[in-house]
Structure 1
């Protein structure tokens, strides 16, 4: 199975190379043709206006074409002059601003919470005294939605990020042109500035993660068993005495629960948490951030994530670690979980909380395999499945059902689309075999467990 995964990863790598190669070609063409001030429409209009003015207006004394050609050449010349001047002034303003930020680099760091507009402090002159000029820009690296607000003679920037991450520089593409679309100059502006996109917690107010328990010291006799009265409750397992089943609970909840002897217990002081990267992992990252900041993991905890060789034990370290995990290839999600559990010595008294995406992917098999080995060692593993809404699958028409294979949906890395009941049901059913599972809905701010998860698993089986 591991060989098939590696071969699939290699095939996926080959599939991405043409896209990456085309991206490099497009970037090279942008740098080469960006300063060229005429658009294809502007080039056609200027050539046609010149032909009408000189070829027909002056030579053949066609007054109508003479006026049309002169108007076209005049508008094109004014737009060309205004565009070149606006591009030059904007570039000079950015250059002066970049030098100022370089002198106070300590205050230039930018922290952005995904999903919310955050002003960055970047601005350009509005240039209202130049006619027909339109100035706009976008972020090339990292990816973020840019909103430009005109205020007090300036164009001020706010960004909305959809994907967590951390970069050391920002690359913008500035577009300066006229309102008629005849001229346009595209410049790339690079700013050395540390930017960190942290995952959003959405409407989640708390993530209830129950603290684990380990063997304690309160034993009645050193040679006696660590058992007491039949006070503890747990789910029925094959082989349990039928006389310990609580039939009243079964009649009310339709779940077999048995009584088990209580044990001398004490809370586990340290909790190990881990974030698995994959398609649609932003809700899981937001739940992990909320658990760290609200103290749901206890007083002593350690956090790991895919793509990071070191672990975090402080809140600031944890946020950096969550941001860096966005750079992990989705095909390699969950591969570092086994090493993390080994490094943190998850044993009989240990406990781990694993935050996973709500959409199945290559990470699911890797997590089940590595958590199964940790569970056989006696460790307790709990899973927090993050979603941005759960909706029923769209019904397929009769001619769609005749297809041999349904095409897989293309989900962008930072997409926050809701998952279907079939998708999250598959995740819940698979993870329930190796640990306890809860589902959190970041969009609605709700936590699901118990009967809700059983219904999701049944929906996945029915599909």
Structure 2
């Protein structure tokens, strides 16, 4: 019996030592090979462009480690985000990388965590490798329907509107008050009835040819970023527009640069600073211009700074709020709690969606400060007004 136990121990130690030798030697060889391949392909490798929620090939591939038996190679991307990575075997026996991002991101480098292990799982050799390649992941648009034409309103002679400046036609008539100019008095009316009336310019606005839009970042802003992407790609901002987002250094006036700003607006490390004030000061020469703001339909830290911006800025604002569904889910009953069905099977979009009561509180808080409000549900693709009526 002792000889049997001794023989089994020797066999187990032999297998363990052999697995350790294969994993370490293969790991060192693969690490040097991958390092040399990435160093020689710095300029030849194309930038990584992907869309969240779908399988995307990155163009990164490696040869299979077949110089030692019982060894397998795996890796995953850990920066700019922990991206779920799938490895496929091509027809020419190469390992192809495929990622399925969950959220948008933008970076100039990609870090992968490689692991060489034996097939029995006894030993593994791991390291991280950095590749200097641009990586941009755009938000998933789902079934968002085409948005109405988002155009800016600027105070000038055009459409009658109480929010505009008195730059329209002289059509407003009222009684004279101290301080009115004498040239505005209607002298013919005064000659008939001895009443002093004045004719003033009507407050009006017009559809500006230049549209300005901004994306506010927050924790659950993926739906807002998707709506901003749809607005940019479908051309609903018009021909002449300026766009920026939290994390962008300057205003964007072309589609590729604007899409990069949308992807970069999601902070990987520390949160981006509130940048709407800087954007309005630098990108808009006309102080009375109209600004369209994309944001998440939830109570977020940008609510207070946005109120201050609206109070300080002389122009008008329109809000486009986005969400991943309105979750009016009742409290589960006793049998549901006993059967462990209290929402464990809810989808991720439902967990990220906001409640109808919270959204109504947000709309009540902001509807008095902005010109108009549009709510877009990325899950269903429907749009609603400030009273949650379908548009």
What TM-score, normalized to structure 1? Answer: 0.65
- 2: CA distance, partners of 1:431 / 1:452: 14
- 1: CA distance, partners of 2:158 / 2:366: 33
Structure 1 pair 130–320 and aligned structure 2 pair: CA distance change class (3 A)? same
Structure 1 pair 167–210 and aligned structure 2 pair: CA distance change class (3 A)? closer
1:442 aligns to 2:378 (yes or no): yes
Among 155, 170, 177, which residue is 1:225 paired with? 170
Partner of 1:139: 77
Structure 1 residues 242-391: aligned runs within 5 Å: 266-327=206-267, 335-343=274-282, 344-345=284-285, 347-348=287-288, 350-374=289-313, 377=314, 379-391=315-327
Q: Deviations over 1:211-254 (max 9, x none)?
A: 244433699xx9962469xxxxxxxxxxxxxxxxxxxxxxxxxx
Structure 1 residues 197-212: aligned runs within 5 Å: 197-212=137-152
Structure 1 residues 47-196: aligned runs within 5 Å: 62-104=2-44, 107-127=45-65, 130-143=68-81, 144-152=83-91, 153-196=93-136
Greater shift, 421-430 or 171-180, is seen at 421-430
The alpha carbon displacement at 1:346 in A equals 5.6
Contact kept? 1:83, 1:184, Cα under 8 Å: yes
Q: Which runs of 5+ in 2 are unaligned?
A: 161-166, 174-201, 335-348
* 1:157 alignment partner, SS class: strand
* 2:388 alignment partner, SS class: helix
Contact kept? 1:279, 1:359, Cα under 8 Å: no
- 1: CA distance, partners of 2:53 / 2:26: 32
Contact kept? 1:90, 1:124, Cα under 8 Å: no
Q: Deviations over 1:309-362 (max 9, x none)?
A: 3101111121122222223877665x32123223314644x2110001122121
* 1:182 alignment partner, SS class: coil
Q: Which runs of 5+ in 1 are unaligned?
A: 1-60, 229-261, 399-413, 455-463
Q: Deviations over 1:396-439 (max 9, x none)?
A: 889xxxxxxxxxxxxxxx99822222333333222212112111
- 1: CA distance, partners of 2:297 / 2:385: 14
Structure (1 or 2) with the greater helix fraction: 1
* 1:287 alignment partner, SS class: helix
1:216 aligns to 2:157 (yes or no): yes
Partner of 2:199: none
Partner of 2:354: 419
CA RMSD of aligned residues (A): 3.2
Structure 1 pair 332–128 and aligned structure 2 pair: CA distance change class (3 A)? closer
- 2: CA distance, partners of 1:224 / 1:206: 35
Q: Deviations over 1:147-178 (max 9, x none)?
A: 11123322211112223232221111111112
Partner of 1:236: none
- 2: CA distance, partners of 1:226 / 1:297: 32
- 2: CA distance, partners of 1:338 / 1:207: 26
What TM-score, normalized to structure 2? Answer: 0.77
Structure 1 pair 216–84 and aligned structure 2 pair: CA distance change class (3 A)? same
- 2: CA distance, partners of 1:433 / 1:385: 15
- 2: CA distance, partners of 1:347 / 1:314: 23
* 1:419 alignment partner, SS class: coil
Structure (1 or 2) with the greater strand fraction: 2
* 1:216 alignment partner, SS class: strand
Among 351, 361, 365, which residue is 1:430 paired with? 365
- 2: CA distance, partners of 1:358 / 1:218: 30
- 1: CA distance, partners of 2:142 / 2:363: 22
Q: Deviations over 1:37-73 (max 9, x none)?
A: xxxxxxxxxxxxxxxxxxxxxxxx8222122112202
The alpha carbon displacement at 1:275 in A equals 0.7
Structure 1 pair 212–167 and aligned structure 2 pair: CA distance change class (3 A)? closer
* 2:96 alignment partner, SS class: strand
